């Protein structure tokens, strides 16, 4: 029970942090929408552990790339199930750090789904590592 609560809390905090970055993930600004979105995402991530067990041979063949594709599919399914969560296209302003320059560009809807899914999963993994 304690681990389920940790997963739920980590998912909710990660959703809050990623949506506050205001890049491509928009969640309605009330507490109930964050709790509902966190609950649905926690349930989907629990289901993902069962799909990982079933798809283990495919993960071995694709060197774990299929695991990231399943993450992307589950995050997109999460946005379809939860009405408060929306992915948006956005304009990236670009940045420059020393010799590294990333030009401004328009991020389309599907690229926004991919980028926000990866950022959300990386924040969930980071907070899971911190809590351990």
Which H/E stretch holds residue 128?
A: helix 109-131
Mean pLDDT score, 12-38:
86
At residue 94 the predicted structure's pLDDT band, cuts being 50, 70 and 90, is: confident
Residue 57: per-residue pLDDT: 92
Confidence class for position 67, pLDDT limits 50, 70, 90: confident
Q: Which residues of 56-90 are buried (b: 16+ CB within 10 A; e: fewer)?
A: eeebeeeeeeebeebbbebbbebbeebebbebeeb
Q: What's the CA gap between 42 and 21, in Å, rounded?
A: 21
Report whether pLDDT(1) > 80.
no
Distances (CA, A) of 38 to 5, 63, 77, 96, 115: 11, 29, 14, 34, 19
Average pLDDT over the chain reads 88
Helix (H) or strand (E) holding 27: strand 25-27
From residue 129, give the alpha-carbon distance in Å to each of 38, 66, 101: 18, 22, 31
Which residues are bridge partners to 66 per DSSP?
A: none
129, pLDDT greater than 90: yes
Rounded CA-CA distance 36/18 in Å is: 16
Task: Provide mean pLDDT across the span 54-66.
Answer: 90
Indicate if the pLDDT at residue 127 is higher than 90.
Answer: yes
Q: What is the DSSP string of 39-51?
A: HHHHHHHHHHHHH
Query: Tens digit of pLDDT for each residue in 70-83?
Result: 989 998 899 899 88
Q: Look at residue 23 in the predicted model and tell me its pLDDT.
A: 82
Residue 123 has pLDDT above 90, yes or no: yes
């Amino acid at each position: 029970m304690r681990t389920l609560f940790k997963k739920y809390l980590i998912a909710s905090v990660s959703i809050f942090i990623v949506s506050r970055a205001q890049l491509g993930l928009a969640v309605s600004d009330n507490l109930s929408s964050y709790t509902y979105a966190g609950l649905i995402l926690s349930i989907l991530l629990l289901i993902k552990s069962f799909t990982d067990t079933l798809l283990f041979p495919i993960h071995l063949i694709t060197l774990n790339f299929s695991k990231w594709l399943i993450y992307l599919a589950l995050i997109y399914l999460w946005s379809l199930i939860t009405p408060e969560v929306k992915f948006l296209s956005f304009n990236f302003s670009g940045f420059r750090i020393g010799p590294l320059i990333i030009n401004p560009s328009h991020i389309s809807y599907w690229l926004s789904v991919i980028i926000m899914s990866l950022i959300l999963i990386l924040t969930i993994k980071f907070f899971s590592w911190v809590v351990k």
